[in-house]
Amino acid sequence: MKKFSLMIILVTAFMCLPTFILAEETEIKLTDEQRQEMAQLHMEVMKKKKEIITKYVDYGVFTPEKADKINAMIDKHFEKLEENNFIPKWDDQKKHKH
């Protein structure tokens, strides 16, 4: 019984290790062609999002001021992606409190 309990404790401890200790960090770099393709795709998405925001203003859901703020956030997000060579940095995000 002691061996079984010890084994359960060891397995639990191993499973609780942070994944960043076990994961190997690698530097990912996109080629110029890949960056251009990602830039084009993100630009298309950004334009569509702005079209949606404009429609919400037309329908009275958003005020023009709120639309300007949202569009500024969209632009800021695109600039951040550009700075990071279109590689998302999800590890740096804050955890949501629920």
Q: Is residue 53 part of a domain?
A: yes
Give the global pTM. Answer: 0.64
In a domain, residue 82? The reply is yes
Give percent above pLDDT 90 in the chain.
59
77 falls within a domain:
yes
The reply to whether 6 falls in a domain is no
- The pLDDT assigned to 23 comes to 47
Domain of 67, in residue numbers: 39-87
> And the tokens for 87?
């590689």
